[in-house]
Amino acid sequence: MSTDRPGPDVPDAEQPVDTDPVDTDPAADDDAVGDVVQDDADEPEGHDLEPIGAPPSRRRRRRRQGAVPPGRRRSGWPMLAPSLVVLLGLTLWPLGLAVWSSLRRSSLTVQDDTFVGLDNLTGLLGDRQWWVAVSVTLLLVASAVLLQLLLGSIVAAAVRRLAVPAAVVAVLLLVPFALLPVLSATIWRDALTTGVGPAWFGYDGGATAASALAVVGSEVWRGTGITALILLVGLSRVDRVLLDSAIADGATWWQRLRRVTWPAAGPAVAVAVLYRSLDALRALEGPLLADPRDGLRTVPVLLWDTTFGAFEVGLASAVAVLLLLLAALLAGALVAVLRPGRNA
């Protein structure tokens, strides 16, 4: 009889043994639990769980980036309110007074302050002198602004290619604009109507054409520098790499202007045209000084004559209101035409 003695038990497979030390620091465990509790407390109710890989909540992102909460962003309005009140008062009070005066028959020579409604406005719209003044004003504005835009574009393109410090360029371009309009108008009047111009070139210095040339020349001389400076800012936004790529692709001059330059510099052009148009629309010194024979009567000159010549305050207020409406219509038309994305 054989006797089998059982051998020792042999494990089926080797089991890995964890040799890493066990972290038994209770303080670290308390910190980890505290962080989890703090994050859960920051989350609003109903948002305890977030998907894996999801960005942190807006609230946590604002806290981490140090953004100002929405409630604090409105704290600046109380400090801004006094300035807004003063600005609105200085703007709305004269406008309201002009509208109210335009509805009355008021004069500085006759004690008559009668409410006449829209009679002053309708009388102006039916007067031929008003429409002649509007036509002359728009013609002078268009001539001056087009010349300023053309010369300003040439100056801006030339300055951009030259290595001239920006401060020097700004000073040189703004010197004519810094002069008083009455001084500029006097210089051009003396040069083209009563001074060396008629004597040298042998033309009638008192003609309306000479006066118109003096008015346009004065506006162009003053406004070309500021126009070039505005256009220079717009040209600096044009991507040179994109422009070189368009040239390499064989794009024509018109295609580069329409597709590359205009989308970048278009807003600056619109600002320059709008600013110079509104500034030329209210110009008084040039026509008043350059045309003593009253052959170049613009709307501001008509307003001057009605106020300080006839002393008709009500009628002059009506002229001012119509001039404001004309400026608003002109600004709206220019914004609609010069919008950069219009033809893109």
Amino acid letter for position 275: Y
Q: Which helix (H) or strand (E) holds 174?
A: helix 166-178
Q: Which of 177, 180, 192 is nearest to 290 (CA)?
A: 192
Number of other CB atoms surrounding residue 256 within 10 Å: 17
What crossing angle do the helices spanning 313-338 and 262-281 adopt, rounded to 10°?
Answer: 170
- Give the distance from CA 140 to its chain's centroid: 23
Number of other CB atoms surrounding residue 84 within 10 Å: 10
pLDDT reported for residue 3: 47
Number of other CB atoms surrounding residue 78 within 10 Å: 8
- Residue 114 three-state SS: strand
pLDDT reported for residue 340: 60
CA distance 239 to 269: 17
pLDDT reported for residue 303: 93
Structure tokens at 122: 């309708």
pLDDT reported for residue 2: 47
Residue ranges of domains in the chain, CATH in brackets? 127-338 (1.10.3720.10)
pLDDT in tens, the chain (344 residues): 444 545 555 445 445 545 444 445 554 444 444 444 444 444 444 444 555 544 555 555 545 555 555 555 556 788 888 898 998 889 899 999 999 999 998 888 888 788 888 999 999 999 999 999 999 999 999 999 999 999 999 998 888 888 778 788 888 888 888 888 888 888 888 888 877 777 787 777 667 788 888 899 999 999 999 999 999 988 888 888 888 888 888 888 888 888 888 888 888 999 999 999 999 999 888 888 877 666 788 999 999 999 998 899 999 999 999 999 999 999 999 888 887 655 44
Structure tokens at 172: 């040189």
Q: Which of 316, 335, 337, 317 is nearest to 327 (CA)?
A: 335
**208 touches 193 (CB < 8 A):** no
- Residue 105 three-state SS: strand
